Amino acid sequence: MRRIAVMGAAGRMGKILIEAVEQADGAKLTAAVDRPDSSLIGADAGELAALGKIGVVLAGDLGAVLDQFDVLIDFTHPSVTLKNLEVCRQAGKAMVIGTTGFSVEEKQLLAEAAKQIPIVFAANYSVGVNLCLKLLDTAARVLGDEVDIEIIEAHHRHKVDAPSGTALRMGEVVANALGRDLQKVAVYGREGQTGARERETIGFATVRAGDVVGDHTVLFAADGERVEITHKASSRMTFAKGAVRAALWLQSQPAGLYDMQDVLGLS
Ligand SMILES: NC(=O)C1=CN([C@@H]2O[C@H](COP(=O)(O)OP(=O)(O)OC[C@H]3O[C@@H](n4cnc5c(N)ncnc54)[C@H](O)[C@@H]3O)[C@@H](O)[C@H]2O)C=CC1
Ligand SMILES: O=C(O)C1=N[C@H](C(=O)O)C[C@H](O)C1
d(CA 218, CA 150): 6
Q: Is 118 in the pocket of ligand 1 (CB under 6 A)?
A: no
From the annotation, which residues make up the binding site for NAD(+)?
8-13, 34, 98-100, 122-125
State whether 93 and 147 are in the same domain. Answer: no
State whether 115 and 7 are in the same domain. Answer: yes
pLDDT band at residue 247 under the 50/70/90 scheme? very high
Across the range 83-106, mean pLDDT stands at 98
State whether 179 and 254 are in the same domain. Answer: no
CA of 76 to the centre of ligand 1 (A): 3
Q: pTM higher than 0.95 for the full model?
A: yes
Ligand 1 mutation pick, 37, 72, 75, 83, max ligand atoms within 8 A of CB: 75
* Inter-residue contact 118 to 250 (CB < 8 Å): yes
Give the ligand at the shortest distance from the Cα of 9.
Answer: 1
CATH number at residue 175: 3.30.360.10
Residue 41 above 90 pLDDT?
yes
Across the range 203-223, mean pLDDT stands at 98
State whether 115 and 12 are in the same domain. Answer: yes
State whether 153 and 213 are in the same domain. Answer: yes
pLDDT band at residue 143 under the 50/70/90 scheme? very high
Amino acid occupying residue 106? E
pLDDT band at residue 8 under the 50/70/90 scheme? very high
d(CA 139, CA 142): 5
Q: Please report, for residues 20, 67, 90, the alpha-carbon distance to residue 71 in angstroms, rounded to integers and kept in the order given.
A: 15, 11, 13
214-221 and 226-233: which strand pairing? antiparallel
Q: Does 232 participate in catalysis according to the annotation?
A: no
Domain that holds residue 14: 2-121+236-264
Other C-beta atoms closer than 10 Å to the C-beta of 127 total 16
d(CA 230, CA 31): 36
State whether 108 and 203 are in the same domain. Answer: no
Q: Dihedral (C-alpha) 119, 121, 124, 127: value to the nearest 10 degrees?
A: -40
d(CA 105, CA 190): 26
State whether 113 and 224 are in the same domain. Answer: no
Q: Does 155 participate in catalysis according to the annotation?
A: yes
pLDDT, the chain, mean: 98
Residue 204 above 90 pLDDT?
yes
Any alpha helices (H) in the chain, and if so which ranges? 12-23, 45-48, 78-91, 104-113, 127-143, 165-177, 182-185, 237-250, 260-264
CATH number at residue 258: 3.40.50.720
Give residue 267's pLDDT. Answer: 85
Q: Is 28 in the pocket of ligand 1 (CB under 6 A)?
A: no
Q: Tens digit of pLDDT for each residue in 227-246?
A: 999 999 999 999 999 999 99
Nearest CA to ligand 1 atom 19: 11
State whether 45 and 70 are in the same domain. Answer: yes
* Prediction ipTM score: 0.99
Q: What proportion of the chain, given as a percentage, has pLDDT over 70?
A: 100
Give the ligand at the shortest distance from the Cα of 124.
Answer: 1
State whether 145 and 114 are in the same domain. Answer: no
- Which ligand 2 atom is the nearest neighbour of the CA of 100? 8
Across the range 106-116, mean pLDDT stands at 98
State whether 108 and 8 are in the same domain. Answer: yes
Number of structural domains found in the chain: 2
Q: Is 155 in the pocket of ligand 2 (CB under 6 A)?
A: yes
CA of 187 to the centre of ligand 2 (A): 20
State whether 87 and 113 are in the same domain. Answer: yes
State whether 43 and 103 are in the same domain. Answer: yes
